[in-house]
Chains A and B, each alone.
Chain A
Amino acid sequence: MWEAVQFLFPSFIACLTILGILGYLGIHVLEREIIFIDITLAQIAATGSTLAFILFRQQLTEENTYIPRLFLQFVLL
């Protein structure tokens, strides 16, 4: 039981943090009626991750995929 709590606790905290930020951004999205913007951005980010994986497979760490992802997001926006 304790192991399960220890294992799940970081993801629980991550969920709370994400909810806190996205809950606020969600209000803006609803007010501006651009409902599907997030799913589009998330998919663009996923494209960036895939490209990062293809291009930098050898040097790949969690962090350095952020750069191609962000780059693609800005290019496409």
Chain B
Amino acid sequence: MIFSPFFLIQVLLLAVILSVHTYLGLHIIRRGLIFSDLALDQLAAFGVIVGIGIGLEGGTTGSYIVSFLATFLGAVLLAVVKPKSKHIPREAVIGIIYCLALVACLMVSDKMTGGMSYVTQTLSGSMLWVTWSLVLVTVAAYILLSVFHYKYREKIIGITDKKNVEHENFWDFMFFLTQGIITVLIVPIAGVLLAYSFLMIPAAIGVLFTRGWSQGLLIGWTTGFVASLTGLLFSYFFRLPYGPCLVLALGAFFFGALILRILLPEKV
């Protein structure tokens, strides 16, 4: 059973998702915009719920387009709204966007039959029911985005490392746009909370132990993958919900890494 195609789909999907998410997570953590992804995830979920409201089933092209439009709006807001007053951190704006997106989901779902179940579904996801075709689309899109990030890594890493980069606003927007595309792809599969955990927890573990980009990516991806496999097996053997098990396993690994960090000497 462990080596069945069903498990293979999940393991492959976890490996692919973690590769790009860990890299983007490293950017997000180093920029200090920790909750920007949560806001974009919630906007993508809002798009999915609106799509269902107007008759577009989740996972269809139409649903992805509506979800993308909502996320695009969020990406523009994140890139443009930078309060000049030092008393209002950028994180406050991100928090407000997240809160409004969640409330918008609740408002829209209130007018739909069985609306709350859609909100729950977009929060906890349905990783268990992915098909090979969905996995292939996700893998193809993730490879394209990885190529883009590899090609323009100097620009985007330059902005994150606070170096002078030409057309900074454009590259900043491109970064949030790629994050938005990944968000649109992942939220219907993994849900808001798991998507956020995939992005933040492996990267946070990486940053705990190293300042380097490639070492951080390696540590984050490996730990994230082992944590996800643990969550997968835990869910299978104890018959617990899959998505929440993955989040809990990632969270447990993060706190384990924190303890290890305290016990170990300085960062490399």
- Chain A interface residues toward B at CB < 8 A: 30-31, 33, 35-36, 39
Q: Is the CB of A30 within 8 A of B35?
A: no
Q: Is the CB of A31 within 8 A of B87?
A: yes
Which residues from B are CB-within-8-Å of A36? 34-35, 91, 95
Encode contact with A along B88-102: 1 for CB under 8 Å, 0 otherwise: 110110110000000
Summarize B's interface: helix, strand, loop or mixed: loop
Q: Which residue of B lies closest to A27 (CB)?
A: B87
CB A76 to nearest CB in B, in angstroms, measures 12
Q: Is the CB of B35 within 8 A of A33?
A: no
Q: Which 10 A-B pairs rank lowest in CB-CB distance, beginning with the nearest?
A: A35-B91, A35-B95, A33-B89, A35-B92, A36-B35, A30-B92, A36-B95, A35-B89, A30-B87, A30-B88
- In the complex the two chains form, what is the Cα distance from A76 to B92 in whole Å? 24
Q: Which residue of B lies closest to A26 (CB)?
A: B92
A-B contact pairs, 18 of them (CB 8 A): A30-B87, A30-B88, A30-B89, A30-B92, A31-B87, A33-B89, A33-B91, A35-B35, A35-B89, A35-B91, A35-B92, A35-B94, A35-B95, A36-B34, A36-B35, A36-B91, A36-B95, A39-B95
Interface centre among A30, A31, A33 (most CB of B within 10 A): A33
Q: Which residue of A lies closest to B91 (CB)?
A: A35
Q: Which residue of B lies closest to A29 (CB)?
A: B92
- In the complex the two chains form, what is the Cα distance from A33 to B34 in whole Å? 12
Excluding A31-B87, A33-B91, A36-B35, 9 further A-B contacts by CB distance (< 8 Å) are A30-B88, A30-B89, A30-B92, A35-B89, A35-B91, A35-B94, A35-B95, A36-B95, A39-B95
Encode contact with A along B144-187: 1 for CB under 8 Å, 0 otherwise: 00000000000000000000000000000000000000000000
- In the complex the two chains form, what is the Cα distance from A36 to B91 in whole Å? 9
- Chain B interface residues toward A at CB < 8 A: 34-35, 87-89, 91-92, 94-95
- In the complex the two chains form, what is the Cα distance from A36 to B92 in whole Å? 8
CB B216 to nearest CB in A, in angstroms, measures 23
Q: Which residue of B lies closest to A33 (CB)?
A: B89
Which residues from A are CB-within-8-Å of B92? 30, 35
- In the complex the two chains form, what is the Cα distance from A35 to B95 in whole Å? 7
- In the complex the two chains form, what is the Cα distance from A31 to B86 in whole Å? 9
Q: Which residue of A lies closest to B87 (CB)?
A: A30
CB B85 to nearest CB in A, in angstroms, measures 10
Q: Which residue of A lies closest to B34 (CB)?
A: A36
- In the complex the two chains form, what is the Cα distance from A69 to B171 in whole Å? 45
- In the complex the two chains form, what is the Cα distance from A35 to B92 in whole Å? 6
Which residues from B are CB-within-8-Å of A39? 95
Which residues from A are CB-within-8-Å of B34? 36
- In the complex the two chains form, what is the Cα distance from A33 to B35 in whole Å? 13
- In the complex the two chains form, what is the Cα distance from A20 to B70 in whole Å? 33
Q: Which residue of A lies closest to B93 (CB)?
A: A35
- In the complex the two chains form, what is the Cα distance from A76 to B221 in whole Å? 28
- In the complex the two chains form, what is the Cα distance from A35 to B87 in whole Å? 12
- In the complex the two chains form, what is the Cα distance from A39 to B102 in whole Å? 12
- In the complex the two chains form, what is the Cα distance from A70 to B89 in whole Å? 29
- In the complex the two chains form, what is the Cα distance from A4 to B91 in whole Å? 38
CB A40 to nearest CB in B, in angstroms, measures 11
